[in-house]
Structure formats: C-alpha cells, structure tokens
Structure 1
C-alpha cells in the first residue's frame, strides 16, 4: 500500500480536509495535494508529525496498510462544515492577549507600589527606603518579563510551526470582538482618567498615594486597551499570515512547505523589513554621533572645562538628537511603505 493511500484514508477517518491537515502541519494545502498525487514527498519532520496526528508508526504510515484500520477510541475528528481552528490558533492568541498586557501591568503596578513607599519616606531621601524602592521596581519588572518573554518565545515557536493559518472566523466572531474592544477601550480610558483625577486631587495632601493610584489606574487602563486590542487583532488572520515574515528567518521561509506565491510574498516582506531596518539603524547611529558632538563639543571648546556650565549651549540639547532620529525613521518607514512596493 502506498503512502498516498494511507494518507487519504487517515484523513477520511478523521473527517479532515487537506486545508485542515495543512494547518496542523504548518504547510500549504498545495503541499498536501502534491503528497496525495505522489508529485512530492513530505520531509522527515512532517512525517513524524503525521504519525503523532494519526497515532500510527512511521513504518505503517510509509509502507503499511492503514486503509482498513478501525478508528481509534477517542480519536479526534474534525467536524464537517466551514473551516475550523485545528491548530490551536485561537487558544494561542487568547493566551498572548492575557500574558502580554498582564506583564505590562505588572511592571506599572510594581512602580506604583514603589512610589507609595518612596512617598511615605520622602522623595530623594538616601536611606533604606530608597533600596526598598529599587527592589520593588525590579520585582515588578521581573514579574512582567516572566510573563512577556515566555509568551514571546511561545509565539515565535507557534509561527514557525504554523506560518499559514486558514481564516476560520465568522463575521459574528469579528463583530463580537469589535464590540468587546469598544467596551475595553472605553473602560481603559476611564481608568486612565480616574488615575489622572486621583493625581490632581491627592497630589497636594498625599503625594505618595497620589502617584500610587495614578500608576495603578494607568496599569488597569493599559491592560484593558492592550488585552481587548489583541483579542480584536487575533481575528485578522490575513495580517497574521502576512506578518509571519517578521517572525521567521529567510532560511525558515525558504524551507517551509508552502505555496510558491505565499513564499515569494513572505520573502519580499522579509527583505523589505531588513532593508528598512538597516536604513533606520544607520539613521540612529548618525543621531547618536550628532548627540555626542552636541554634548562634548562645547565642553572641549570651553576655556575652563571644569567650570563649564552647559546652560545656553548645545550641550543641554544633546538628547534632542534621538527623538529627531526616531521621527526621521518613522517618516522613512511611511515613505518606504508608500513608494517602495517594488523593492
């Protein structure tokens, strides 16, 4: 019995379309079509994933006869009908929508708690409370990074395993996501305004509590905006497929078993991003050089550098070089996207 016959029989056993199997394997539907037409053969890692999906041995899959095999008890089948999420895309994106905003909020709340202690001890005092302030801030940063970094690594792994996902969301799904985002956006701004109100009301009488409540409500508002924004963004599967080039290396794209047109589009996007990154990197290097010159040139030119006061000279404006460099990078990126489509 041939591999093609086994693969077709196993798909039929699970009620699985070529598109659904392709999503599970991280390849294009055309790749599965070619396998079943015996015009190409899957690589070893794809064969092993097929064995995991269909719960069979490699030897049986390649050289055995699985066409008459009875479905295993509890075998996962794919319901017939419209496209479904067979690779865990929605679950993955929901996980990201919880961990990333929670990590950001943890960092802000850590700073808020630290400001509460600093305010209680007097701002600028050099005692044990300053050390406690630093410890609390670092604890908040570590807590945030403990959520954000693993989430980012999990996302990179997911994109490598699934560089293309078939859009399975319905218009009702998108409408619910838009409605949730509208509510989350309003709630987020309400929290931010509440924080500003606490700062204005309590700043004169309890500065420490004012800063704590301000940052605490900012953290809540940020969490709402980022969380519901990511939940809305997850429904744009087409953008996920386009942005796969930003996550994958050129070697990963070249070796991916996806349609030639999709592969060319991903490669063009990746090369476009590398060129733009090189240009912006050069701009920021020039900005750094300009900033250093603005800082040290007046000092070196002063008759008495020890008594030099930067007020009224270019030394006090050296930091402007980086914001201007960032603005130039933004302008270049916009113009590149608008007029560099042929790159």
Structure 2
C-alpha cells in the first residue's frame, strides 16, 4: 500500500474524519486530502505525530500494508487473555469447590470434622496463589501494552457472541436445578442425619462451583474482544484512575471481611459446643461470599455514580 492508502485506512479505523485529523495535526483539510490521494507528502514532524496517533511505526506507515498488521496480534494479547481467563475462572471456582469438598469429605466419606476447614483452607490457599500469579502477570502485561490495535475481525466477534448466551444460560439453569433438588431432598437428608445433609449441600456447592467457573470464564472471554475498553481502561484520566483504585481497595476489604466472618462463624460453631464437634457454621457460613459479591458490585456502582455526579 502507498502512504496515502495507509493513512486513509488508519483514519477510517480510528473513526476520524479528514477535518478531525487535520485539526489534530493543525493543518488544513485539503492537506490531509492531498496526502491520502498521494498528491503531496507531509513533513517529518507530521509523520512522527501520525505514528504516535495511530500507534504504528514509520516504516509500516510509509512502505508496508498497515491493514495486515492491524489485523494481527503482534503482542500475543489473545493468547495471554485466554491464559488469564482460564486460570482466574478456575481459581474462583476452586474456592467454592473447596467448601464442597470439605463438606463432602465429612458427609460422603465420614472424615473427621476438622477435615472441613482443612480442605477449605487448602483450596483457598491454592486459589489465592493462582490469583496472585495471574494478577502479577496481568499487571506486567498491561504496563507493557497500555494500548493495542484492534486486530479482531467482525466474524471472530460474532462467532463468540453467538456462543455467549449459552455460556450464561446453561450455568444459570444448573444453579436453578441444583437449588430445586436441594429443596426437594432437604427433608430426606434431614431424616437420614447430619452426614446426609452435609453431603447434599456439598453436591449443590459442587454444581455452583462449576456454574460460577463457566460464568466467570465466559465474561472474561467476552471482555477480551473489547479492545476499545482495554485502551480506555489502561489510559484512564486521573479521576478515573483514582476511582478504579478506590473501588479495588473497597472490594478487596469486603472480600477479606467476608473470609474473616466465615472463619469466625465456622470456628465459633465448633467452640460453641465446647468439644469442637459443632460444624453448622462451615455448612452454612459460605453464604457470606455471594452476599459480599453483591455488596462489592453495589459499592463499585455507587463509587462510579458518586464520581460522575
């Protein structure tokens, strides 16, 4: 492609008019029109500004086909985001699954009651370690690549968007069905004793863990296609950056508080009977996590609304 063709392609992809580009470069619209028709050529200073404006290099702008580079993942963004979504979704599901396994060890296999918190804490420890590694790698990647060219094609986006409703509907249906069976079998489990109740709850939480994993994975995979949001998120205004940090700290504090409450309820139920055989707190205390998630979402929304006002 010629320089003029490349310039027109980049301007169209950025959604800019000739007048808008001319204003950004402090030249006339006629100058931009002549550049795009290869009737004239900009000076070096303007070429460097164009490279910065459209996130490209001088050699590509002048001599290569920018459309080929535009639709190629030169920094490995897609591969990294796939890796990130896989491990983040798995670690979140693992937290819930560790509760299910802890209850299951007691309810299904008759393990000692101390196995419930032991399995839970082990699972949470592994999940937290995964999230730390994923978070550190994500932080490094976003600092190295704060802005990206949108290389996804319309067909790629449409293909995933056609799958997305199923990835949301099926897990939700699974949770609803699991809740239904939990209610229907509740009386039966109560008649058979404490272990049967714990086994039933463990099975329900296992279903929830799988459903939540799929939901988180689907949402993260959908988000990776929004390159415009990535560029906006990683080049925020000072006000937006402060708002993001504030929401992050608040949500982190909420989830830490939820974990502390769960531990207090769990160990408190064991201490309440004196011989550390009480375990109702471990069976039902997990409800603090979805409540904390809802509170976190609400607080984030209120912070955003407060800053906008």
Is TM more than 0.5 here?
yes
Instruction: State yes or no: 1:87 paired with 2:57.
Output: no
Contact 1:106 1:144 in 2 (8 A): yes
Q: Match of 1:146?
A: 129
Q: 2:229, 2:217 → 1: CA distance? A: 18
Describe the superposition over 1:146-177 as per-residue Cα deviations: whole angstroms up to 9, x where unpaired.
Answer: 32221111100100110111111122111122
Greater share of residues in helix: 2
CA-CA distance at 1:335 after TM superposition:
2.8
Change (3 A) 1:115 1:163: same
Of 153, 161, 166, 1:178 maps to 161
For the 8 Å contact 2:247–2:303, the answer to whether it is kept is no
Question: In the alignment, is the contact (CA less than 8 A) between 2:70 and 2:149 conserved in 1?
Answer: no
Q: CA RMSD in A?
A: 4.1
The yes-or-no answer on 1:239 pairing with 2:229 is: yes
- Structure-2 change in CA distance of 1:243 and 1:218 (3 Å): same
1:145–1:280 CA distance, 2 compared to 1 (3 A) = closer
Give the SS at the match of 1:130.
coil
Q: Does 1:109 align with 2:80?
A: no
Match of 2:206 in 1: 216
Which digits, 9 at most, give the CA deviation of each residue in 1:105-141, with x for residues without a partner? 111111101112333588xxxxx71221111111211
- What CA distance in whole angstroms lies between the structure 1 residues aligned with 2:44 and 2:181? 64
- 1:292-330 deviation digits (Å, cap 9, x = unpaired): xxxxxxxxxxxxxxxxxxxxxxxxxxxxxx99x979845
Three-state SS of the structure 2 residue aligned to 1:87 is: coil
CA distance in 1, matches of 2:177, 2:248: 42
* 1:60-95 per-position Cα deviation (integer Å, ceiling 9, x unaligned): xxxxxxxxxxxxxxxxxx993642110011111111
CA distance in 2, matches of 1:106, 1:118: 18
What residue ranges of structure 1 are gaps of 5+ in the alignment? 1-18, 20-29, 40-77, 123-127, 246-264, 285-321
| Shift in CA distance, 167/116, structure 1 to aligned 2, threshold 3 Å | same
Structure 1 pair 143–326 and aligned structure 2 pair: CA distance change class (3 A) = closer
SS at 1:112 equivalent? helix
Q: What is the Cα deviation at residue 233 of structure 1?
A: 0.7
Q: 1:38 to 1:174 in 2, by over 3 A?
A: closer
The size of the alignment, in residue pairs, is: 212
Using a 3 Å threshold, how does the CA distance of structure 1 residues 183 and 145 change in structure 2: closer, same or farther? same
